[in-house]
Structure formats: C-alpha cells, structure tokens
Amino acid sequence: MNIPSASCDIQNVPNHVAVIMDGNGRWAKKLGLPRVAGHKKGVDTITSLLPICRKRKIPYLTLFAFSSENWRRPPAEVNLLIELLSSTLESEMRRLDENGIRLRVIGDVTQFPKRLQSRIRQACELTVDNDVLNLTIAINYGGQWDITQACKAIVEGMKAGQIENQEITPSLISSFLSTKDLPEPDLFIRTGGEKRISNFLLWQLAYTELYFTDTYWPDFDETCFDETLTEFAGRQRRFGKTGDQIVKFK
Ligand code: IPE
Ligand code: IPE
Ligand code: MG
C-alpha cells in the first residue's frame, strides 16, 4: 500500500463514505471470466481505495462486502466469498495496521465459520489504536437486522429497568446500532448501475447524499472516486432548511 503524499484540491470532502461495492460478477462476465475473478479484482479496488481515502483525508470508510441476503447465492459462490474474506484479512491485516487503519466489522458474524470469526477478532484487536482511517466492513449485514437487534437490546434494557420509555429517542436507538461508534455517512456510493439500497444502512442513511454510478466495482478507480467527491462537494446539504438559510449561515 503506497501512500501518495501529493495534496489534493478537492474541497469539502465527506467525513464518512459508505459504499455498496456492486458489479463484480458482471465485470467478470464481460471479460468471459468466472465470477470469482470479479470478486478478486474487487479486493484490489479496495486496497487501492484505502490510500486514496488517506490522501483525501477521509477518516471513515464503510464497505458492504456481504449482505444478509447474499446467502441466497449458489453455495459455491458463498463459500468462495467467505474464503476470500478470510484470506484477505490474513494477508492485509498487518498492512492495515502499519498504515494506521482501524478495522471494524459490522453484521451478524456468528453465522460464519469459527476460524473466520477469530481472524476478524484478531484483526480488529490488532488495529484498535489506529485512527488515520476507520475502515468498517459490513458482512452478513442487513439494515433490518441492525434495527431489529437494537430493538431487542432496548427491550432487554427496559426489562432490566435501565431504560425508561421516555428515554427512547432517535439518538438512543442510534447508540444501539452496530454503527454506534461511527458518524452518520455523508456520502453513499453504489457502483454497478443498480439504484437501490439493498438493505444496507437503512437508519444511518437518513440524510446521506446518494451517488449511483454504472461503473462496475473492479473498474472504480481514483478518477471515478474523484468524480464522486467533486459531485458531492457541489451539493447543498439542507437538512430540512431552505437554501437561503444555508448560504447565510455557512
Ligand atoms: C458485489 O458484486 C459483491 C457481492 C455482493 C459480494 P456482485 O457479485 O453482486 O456482482 P453482480 O451484481 O453480479 O455483477
Ligand atoms: C449488495 O449487492 C450487497 C453487497 C454489495 C455486499 P447485491 O448484488 O447482493 O444486491 P442486489 O441483490 O442486486 O440488490
Ligand atoms: Mg450485485
């Protein structure tokens, strides 16, 4: 992982970028390759993106790598994705640490093989003190699952007398989500042409700027990312206010 030192003139970069990395399979098909080739190339895109985030001073990056619905794929592909995740964690863990990247994993990891679960724990513990870039990987993640597990935990807290009914607010609910340590995403990117959220961060994307591109994830390079950042920089985030209010009080 080479960290380029060149400065960059894109203003107003997002604090937190969340990505649905889609199009690996179609990228491979286009080239007459097996789907796995697309997934492997997709991992290369991730490793190239990390130094770019550092260069652009984006402190939070969250990537959707395996959804709670992806178990519906043919078992051979599911196994392959799990194996790829496991081998990538093993080969990249030290490099993440050396580059000051903190790894977090969100999603119901209990459904994965024990070996992968312990590798995840190891990688997260190894990088826990890093703060240059917060990389979060969502695996066996679903926004509905996240909200459901938060509801269950809140109900348990109420039963134990630790939470009162009037204390249940949006910020309390946020504090029970798997993303409790992360700020809300500012920019959501979906590659691969589909225009849907596919059960990603349903609660957390409430006021996120959405960006969809036809580019397949394995082809999503620095130029594509810069185009996205430039478009984001030009958007006016109003959060319910009028445009005049935003200009006036900026
Ligand atoms: C995204 O690429 C990767 C995962 C969902 C794991 P896809 O595998 O969905 O690629 P397409 O959509 O079939 O092209
Ligand atoms: C979303 O991609 C999940 C990930 C990128 C991990 P999918 O390719 O699974 O999404 P759908 O099923 O086409 O909406
Ligand atoms: Mg897809």
Return the pLDDT at 250: 56
Each domain of the chain, given as residue ranges in start order, spans 13-142+185-234
Question: Quick check: helix, strand or coil at residue 67?
Answer: strand
Instruction: Tell me the average pLDDT of the chain.
Output: 95
Return the pLDDT at 10: 85
Class of domain 13-142+185-234: alpha beta
Gap between the Cα atoms of 27 and 42, Å rounded = 10
Of all residues in the chain, the percent with pLDDT exceeding 70 is 96
What one-character DSSP code corresponds to residue 66? E
| pTM of the model as a whole | 0.95
- CB atoms under 10 Å from CB of 136, counted, come to 22
Return the pLDDT at 249: 62
Determine contact, residues 136/62, Cβ cutoff 8 Å. yes
* pLDDT tier, 75 (very low <50, low <70, confident <90, very high otherwise): very high
Return the pLDDT at 8: 57
Residues 6+ apart with CB under 8 A from 76: none
Helix then strand count (H, E) for the chain reads 8, 6
Placement of tokens 């903190």 in the chain? 102
The verdict on whether 22 is a catalytic residue reads: yes
Gap between the Cα atoms of 201 and 185, Å rounded = 9
Counting ligands in written order, the one closest to the CA of 38 is 1
Nearest CA to ligand 2 atom 9: 70
The verdict on whether 129 is a catalytic residue reads: no
Gap between the Cα atoms of 132 and 53, Å rounded = 10
**Catalytic one of 2, 12, 15, 22:** 22
pLDDT tens for residues 198-210?
999 999 999 999 9
